[in-house]
Chains A and B, each alone.
Chain A
Amino acid sequence: MSFYDVRKLRIVCSSVFIFVCIMEITPLAGQQANYTISGYVKEASSNELLAGATIYIPSLSTGVITNNYGFYSITLVPGAYELVFTFTGFEGIRVSVDLNEDMVLNQYLKPSTITLDEVVVSGELHEKVSENTQMSFLKLATKTVEYVPAFMGEKDVLKVLQLMPGVQSGSEGSSGLYVRGGGPDQNLLILDDAILYNANHLFGFFSVFNGDALKSTELYKGGFPARFGGRLSSVIKMDMKDGNKEEVHGKIGVGMISASGLLEGPIKKGKTSYIISGRRTYIDVLIAPFNSSSPGTDGYYFYDLNAKVNHEVDLKNKLFVSGYFGLDRFYSKGSDYNASLNWGNASSTVRWNHQLSNKMFTNTSLIFSRYLFRIREGDDDFELKYTSSIRDFGAKYDVDFFPSINHTIKLGVSTTSHQFIPSALVVEEEDDIEPIDDEERFNTLESAVYIEDDMRIFNRVHANIGIRLSHFIHKDKTYFKPEPRVSLAYLFPRDVSVKASYAAMNQYIHLLSNSGIGLPTDLWVSSTNRVKPQSSHQVALGVAKDLNRGISVTLEGYLKESENVIYYKDGASFLLLDELESSISLSWEDNITTGLSESYGIECFLQKKVGDFNGWVGYTWSKTELQFDEINFGEKFLARYDRRHDISLIGIYTASERVTLSGTWVYGTGNNFTLPVRTHRTASDVASGYNNPSYARFDDVEKRNNFRAEAYHRLDLSIQMTKPKEKGKRTWELSLYNAYNRRNPFYYYTTSEIQNNTRKGKLIKSSLFPILPSFKYIYEF
């Protein structure tokens, strides 16, 4: 064992010791006869389990949160208590219990309706941000995603998350998320425990997450609990609906570019249910008139398919099998020619819940995930196949332990085998030319163990303290990194809390991308003996306040420092991977450089969650700087998506049972672009023996990202008109993207024209989407 391993072991042992000490000094249950209330929180009509619901005990000023599978457990001394069950987007319930024995208390919550009286809703019947230890955290109600205006009517979870403070979009229309200065590759996207690698359809204009199939979406921007790891900037955790256990329901949607459908229902009433949801575009039909060749032979489409079955084996055992499959496909067919470009994710998860006791809950997951990019091209005497992919097989075991009202302990272990194929090329020709069969393939193993305790240390001090030990093996290189995590909250009277957090994160796999627009050619690669894991440290400090009428306000500041952040070298591109220094066999490792990133900012979030008018206002002030020895001559420079000011206004107004109006307005400081500032003569390449051409001119780029584009702002509007039908309801949705037709900058370039012996240099702004109306028809039964 090396000196460093010994040092790391000491750090781990010290952390565990501190953890145990805290456990010891905290008033644990068991010092007095205690009883436990346990059960599940479910949606009333469908029996869907609700993860992240809050059970609050006002008399103790504390509470617990249901785990991933809607389970909760509270252990208290005997007595009379009032329990308040709340969940975002649902009506809260107040329950009185006289606790003198262990009891099972399942609760069924109803989705909020437009008739909800705001006066009644005052008090504790909605979730309060001030009571949650977790900071830098957002939970999206499914209804919110349905109402927020969407680009071309395609409801998109990631684009709604872009409207949150601390989260920024990249270029126009892109679904990429830039969280607190991090890139889209630094987001951990989890769908039912499986990591999805490519979140984009069609150049990133649409994300792969079909809102119809999702039950919940959670975003962590900082203060990461120890159960999450593997990415630097955010965790976006999405769970698919389980499927209605009581009756069959369905939904059909037809929009401008796609049609979607959802069907769910019981296989065995109350025990087993299924859900299947799909979406397919018909862009291939729309672009058919543009095809010069015979119709139907060239085209593009994408589709998503989500499916899930869950079975309640008995009161203590549940089984879930879920899968996602999505594909983008460009194709071209001729009489003797065939080509296609395909990319997509596939994932599946098998999970087994087992309730060991009324205080302990376990989950075992087997996970498969794959992202594949493939080109095929061929004719009568030639065939080319190019593939790049990442494929995971993983297993995970998690334990949730609720020893007392003051402690919720989560611990677990996970391991994932990644198989990378950065590139595999097969070329076969009929002539005598030797076929090419060139494949680069390697495996890595990423593992972690974690423990965290969400605890009440003193009456008003709540903390979540944990540690994650991550481990990564690539060939003979091993990385072992302890990641301490701490979140603290001090609860003041009148629903005010002050929160602070620290999180260390490591990322062992990286995305090589310089297009910035979500092309399928973006390449996932691994840490190696030359490319170290990216790592970050983030501290955050904030205040949360709950006001009347379901209004909450949070103010947070953060500082995030990352090292070993990867970046393409000057001039590098995915097109040049084989050509940069042709005398040496190059791999992707030679084409990248590593450096530092520093982000800091302040975020303000004012949200109204209930009532017939709800929505939020988000404001972010932030700065992100990068430094690489091999870029910008080693000097610091602003990140492309460094955005000083970012504002989002979202309003959803339920005018009546039949009409819902919504609007969003976004404003952001312009992105940074790199533009030349002068042009000059260059030297001739004389040291070669060849007659080399003189390079006449070069446009001098003095600094990276030296030009700040004009500000981006846009208004989107939407109206949904719902009408009850004999067997369900239908909704017409009309939307207007970029309602006041703002010509927002997409990119800039320079050009010149020569007239009458003078040259005039010009700066050209290019804009993408003008005002775009769209419609969608939805029928639900």
Chain B
Amino acid sequence: MNFEMNAIWNIKAWRVIALIILWACDTVEVEPPEILDAEDKLVMNAIFSPASDTITVEISMSEKIFGIIPEPSSNIVSDAVVTISDGSLTRTLSFDDVQKVYILPATQFSLEKEVTYRLELTANNKTVYAETSLPYKVNRLESVELNDSNALQISWQDLPNEKNYYRVYAESLYNRREGTDGEVYYSRYKFFDNDFITDAHKDGQLLSVTSDALDEFQNRFDSVSIEVYSVDELYWDYFRVLDLDTEEDPFSEPVQLPSNVVGGIGIFSIFQVSKFKMKWP
């Protein structure tokens, strides 16, 4: 909640009236109509990057909202046939009993730019699939500097004429100390929040992220490690929806989770990550 809503909620009369209205509300369980008794669907979740060691896919079945369902649910599907293909090469993933996911070592299937990949699964007499390709990768940072407010600012060039979505992670280690066990320990300073940056209204321009002012810390760092993630629009949309956390806000619009799984639910997305280690500016 922001400032204004806190203030609204602090007014007791508002709460009293709201409580009286809620108190006046009479609730009763009703029989859900047939339209809400939708069929179960296969759920395929697969997110990895060319830098990942493995291609990992989780397969599960959706569950009904209404009626009686055993708990804890055991909806992971372990007997599916899962394949990944680039149009010419097709590989089958195998189920890992420990992690409860389907796995293919990255060495057996390379991920390249401008190739469309298809992930397909067959289970319970149903076949579903999804397709995706690699997003733009940031290979170079334009600048890493301290601005006038003594905040760390990292800039890079956006690729024009397409929607791009980024995340920047940056950390510096400081306070080096040796433990009694002989190990070397550091404190870790993380510069940015876990937010997405889009090129909306800034297509093709120089994009940047800026940290909070570093008054207390700036002299403690020797270097900064930076990771720039690029994701596709579906990835951005998918986690934006999950981040909205609308259950706490009774006045928010309902949300629908996007999916690119044809015949099922879920997400198949490949992201790019570029890692840089820079001398502290």
Binds B, one of A352-360, A441-449, A606-614, A702-710: A702-710
A287 touches B13 (CB 8 A): yes
A244 to chain B, nearest CB (A): 38
Give the total number of A-B pairs whose CB atoms are below 8 A apart. Answer: 270
> Nearest residue in B to A427 (C-beta to C-beta)?
B3
B251 touches A763 (CB 8 A): no
Given the complex, which residues of A lie within 8 Å of B37, measured CB to CB? 677
B278 to chain A, nearest CB (A): 15
Q: B225-263: contact bitstring with A at CB < 8 Å (1 yes, 0 no)? A: 001010100010011111010100101111111100000
Per a CB cutoff under 8 Å, which of A291, A386, A581, A754 touches B196? A581
Known: A680-B265, A762-B29. A293 touches B35 (CB 8 A): no
Per a CB cutoff under 8 Å, which of A287, A376, A748, A764 touches B17? A287
B195 touches A684 (CB 8 A): no
Bound together, the chains give a CA A92 to CA B28 distance in angstroms of 53
> Nearest residue in B to A378 (C-beta to C-beta)?
B7
Q: A285-296: contact bitstring with B at CB < 8 Å (1 yes, 0 no)? A: 001001111000
B266 touches A674 (CB 8 A): no
A764 touches B30 (CB 8 A): yes
A768 touches B21 (CB 8 A): yes
Residue A103 lies at the interface, judged by CB distance under 8 Å to chain B: no
Given the complex, which residues of B lie within 8 Å of A283, measured CB to CB? 17
Residue A737 lies at the interface, judged by CB distance under 8 Å to chain B: no
B26 to chain A, nearest CB (A): 5
Bound together, the chains give a CA A293 to CA B12 distance in angstroms of 9
Residue B209 lies at the interface, judged by CB distance under 8 Å to chain A: yes
Residue A698 lies at the interface, judged by CB distance under 8 Å to chain B: yes
B246 touches A571 (CB 8 A): yes
Residue A119 lies at the interface, judged by CB distance under 8 Å to chain B: no
B66 touches A766 (CB 8 A): no
Given the complex, which residues of A lie within 8 Å of B257, measured CB to CB? 682, 698, 700-701
Given the complex, which residues of A lie within 8 Å of B252, measured CB to CB? 514, 571-573, 575-576
Interface residues on B, range: 35 or more
Given the complex, which residues of A lie within 8 Å of B256, measured CB to CB? 570, 632-633, 701-702, 704
> Nearest residue in A to B63 (C-beta to C-beta)?
A679
Binds B, one of A303-311, A361-369, A688-696: A688-696
Residue A584 lies at the interface, judged by CB distance under 8 Å to chain B: yes
Residue A721 lies at the interface, judged by CB distance under 8 Å to chain B: no
Q: A757-779: contact bitstring with B at CB < 8 Å (1 yes, 0 no)? A: 11111111111111000000000
Given the complex, which residues of B lie within 8 Å of A758, measured CB to CB? 68-71
B138 to chain A, nearest CB (A): 13
> Nearest residue in B to A570 (C-beta to C-beta)?
B255
Given the complex, which residues of A lie within 8 Å of B273, measured CB to CB? 687
Most buried by B among A568, A679, A687, A692: A687
For chain A residues 269-289, which have a beta carbon within 8 Å of chain B?
283-284, 287
B197 touches A583 (CB 8 A): yes
Given the complex, which residues of A lie within 8 Å of B187, measured CB to CB? none
Binds A, one of B42-50, B81-89, B174-182: B42-50
Residue A377 lies at the interface, judged by CB distance under 8 Å to chain B: yes
A573 touches B71 (CB 8 A): no
B176 to chain A, nearest CB (A): 22
Bound together, the chains give a CA A574 to CA B249 distance in angstroms of 10
> Nearest residue in A to B52 (C-beta to C-beta)?
A686
B280 to chain A, nearest CB (A): 19
Given the complex, which residues of A lie within 8 Å of B58, measured CB to CB? 681, 683
B244 touches A287 (CB 8 A): no
A680 touches B63 (CB 8 A): yes
Bound together, the chains give a CA A514 to CA B250 distance in angstroms of 10
B35 touches A707 (CB 8 A): yes
A286 to chain B, nearest CB (A): 9
A568 touches B70 (CB 8 A): no
Given the complex, which residues of B lie within 8 Å of A203, measured CB to CB? 21
Residue A248 lies at the interface, judged by CB distance under 8 Å to chain B: no
B231 to chain A, nearest CB (A): 5
Known: A571-B255, A687-B235, A688-B167. A766 touches B2 (CB 8 A): no
B228 to chain A, nearest CB (A): 9
A688 touches B169 (CB 8 A): yes
Interface residues on A, range: 35 or more
Per a CB cutoff under 8 Å, which of B11, B43, B253 touches A331? B11
Q: Is the interface of B mostly helix, strand, loop or mixed?
A: mixed
A765 touches B196 (CB 8 A): no
A514 touches B3 (CB 8 A): no
Known: A331-B11, A769-B24, A770-B26. A573 touches B43 (CB 8 A): no
B71 touches A757 (CB 8 A): yes
Known: A571-B241, A690-B194. A330 touches B13 (CB 8 A): yes
Known: A761-B67, A763-B29, A766-B27. A681 touches B12 (CB 8 A): no
Per a CB cutoff under 8 Å, which of B28, B62, B71, B253 touches A570? B253
B8 touches A341 (CB 8 A): yes
Per a CB cutoff under 8 Å, which of B33, B47, B200 touches A687? B47
Per a CB cutoff under 8 Å, which of B38, B229, B242, B253 touches A573? B253
B229 touches A762 (CB 8 A): no
Residue A481 lies at the interface, judged by CB distance under 8 Å to chain B: no
A300 touches B14 (CB 8 A): yes
Bound together, the chains give a CA A684 to CA B239 distance in angstroms of 9
B68 touches A759 (CB 8 A): yes
Residue B184 lies at the interface, judged by CB distance under 8 Å to chain A: no
B25 touches A746 (CB 8 A): yes
For chain A residues 640-698, which have a beta carbon within 8 Å of chain B?
674-690, 692, 695, 698
B83 to chain A, nearest CB (A): 19
Residue A743 lies at the interface, judged by CB distance under 8 Å to chain B: yes
Most buried by B among A292, A578, A683: A683
Bound together, the chains give a CA A330 to CA B15 distance in angstroms of 10
For chain A residues 338-397, which have a beta carbon within 8 Å of chain B?
339-341, 375-377, 384, 386
Given the complex, which residues of B lie within 8 Å of A700, measured CB to CB? 62, 257, 265
For chain B residues 157-183, which have a beta carbon within 8 Å of chain A?
167, 169
B29 touches A680 (CB 8 A): no
Known: A680-B63, A762-B66, A763-B29. A341 touches B11 (CB 8 A): yes
A677 touches B36 (CB 8 A): yes
Per a CB cutoff under 8 Å, which of A386, A676, A688 touches B194? A688
Residue A202 lies at the interface, judged by CB distance under 8 Å to chain B: yes
Residue B41 lies at the interface, judged by CB distance under 8 Å to chain A: yes
B7 to chain A, nearest CB (A): 4
Bound together, the chains give a CA A375 to CA B10 distance in angstroms of 11
B257 to chain A, nearest CB (A): 5
A768 touches B13 (CB 8 A): no
B251 touches A519 (CB 8 A): yes
A291 touches B16 (CB 8 A): yes
Bound together, the chains give a CA A521 to CA B9 distance in angstroms of 13
Residue B267 lies at the interface, judged by CB distance under 8 Å to chain A: yes
A719 to chain B, nearest CB (A): 25
Q: B144-168: contact bitstring with A at CB < 8 Å (1 yes, 0 no)? A: 0000000000000000000000010
**Interchain residue pairs A-B with the least CB separation, the first 5:** A689-B169, A573-B252, A571-B244, A683-B45, A677-B38
- Please list the residues of chain A having a beta carbon within 8 angstroms of any beta carbon in chain B: 202-203, 283-284, 287, 290-293, 298-300, 330-332, 339-341, 375-377, 384, 386, 423, 425, 427, 514-515, 519, 521, 568-584, 590, 632-633, 674-690, 692, 695, 698-702, 704, 706-708, 710, 743, 746, 748, 750, 752, 754, 757-770
Instruction: List 18 A–B pairs whose Cβ atoms lie within 8 Å, in order of A's numbering.
Output: A298-B12, A332-B10, A573-B251, A575-B249, A575-B252, A576-B252, A590-B200, A680-B63, A681-B75, A682-B45, A687-B231, A698-B242, A750-B65, A750-B66, A758-B71, A763-B31, A765-B29, A768-B25
- Please list the residues of chain B having a beta carbon within 8 angstroms of any beta carbon in chain A: 1-5, 7-8, 10-14, 16-17, 19-21, 24-33, 35-38, 40-41, 43, 45-49, 58, 60-71, 73, 75, 167, 169, 190, 193-198, 200-201, 209, 227, 229, 231, 235, 238-242, 244, 246, 249, 251-258, 265-267, 271, 273
Known pairs A330-B13, A680-B63 / 15 extra A-B pairs, C-beta < 8 Å:
A287-B13, A291-B12, A341-B7, A570-B241, A572-B253, A575-B249, A681-B75, A689-B227, A700-B62, A707-B33, A746-B25, A760-B68, A765-B28, A768-B24, A770-B26
